[in-house]
Amino acid sequence: MAAPDLTTLQDRLGCHFRDEKLLALALTHPSFSRLGCDQPQHNQRLEFLGDAILGLVLAWELCLQFPGLQEGQLTQCRAKLVNRHALALRGRALDLGPLLILSKGEEKSGGRNRPSALADAYEAVLGAILLDQGFETVRSFIQRDFSEELKNLETSPGLENPKGALQERLQSTSNATPEYQLISAEGAKHDQSFECAVFHEGRELARGRGKTKRLAETAAALEALKLLQAENSPLLGHRPPD
């Protein structure tokens, strides 16, 4: 079987391999094997490595984006991003299917479009980038590739609507609704960080940070709920800025 042309894929990845054979190995399905070889001739080892680096980088990003979430909530958020279906879609977006190196039987049975094969190849490509280009390159690629999903991942799966939950909690004892105010916006336009505060009856309950104003408001609501759930939690006495 002729090796696929990987130039276009490398353009999509934003990096060009020093050892292109490593990228070809990432695309080699376990159904394709070469007899008499001592070393594995498929992508499972690279998939293992890619899975680990993907989990690390996304855990890092989630901890930065949601400082108020606990370990269990962060784990659920990460699971949303890296489930088999989501990774298969990423493999399709990179058009990995036509590049997969498969056995004839696997190809005849639809292996190029199989979600598991695409998801595994996507993770294997991440592993190949790490080995060939280093940590910073693969981290930058993952950040770019998941930027929209991270931006839109506004809440923890365990608490689907923190702002609504906070309003319901407060209105059980008061008719006043919580109000959100932007405190600050920092950084370049393409990489801003926002801080918002939530107020109730003129008193600040909590603050939160995020990469969009909406995420910052969500983080503030989560922090306020955490404080209100603690026994005898004092409300901050700050007044909203003029």
Identify residue 228 by its one-letter amino acid code: L
Q: Which of 103, 219, 118, 106 is nearest to 159 (CA)?
A: 219
Given 120, 123, 132, 154, which residue is catalytic? 123
Q: Which of 47, 51, 106, 204 is catalytic?
A: 51
Residue spans of beta strands (DSSP E) within the chain: 179-186, 193-200, 203-210
Kindly give, in sequence order, each residue whose CB lies less than 8 Å from that of residue 126, ignoring residues fewer than 6 positions away: 49, 50, 53, 54, 138, 141, 142
123 is catalytic: yes
Spell out the residues 6+ positions from residue 3 whose beta carbon is closer than 8 angstroms to its own.
24, 101
With a CB cutoff of 8 Å and minimum separation 6, the contacts of 67 are 208, 209, 219
Q: Which of 195, 201, 184, 200 is nearest to 220 (CA)?
A: 195
Question: Is residue 95 flagged as an active site residue?
Answer: no
Closest CA to 80 of 149, 139, 172: 149
Active site residues per annotation: 51, 123
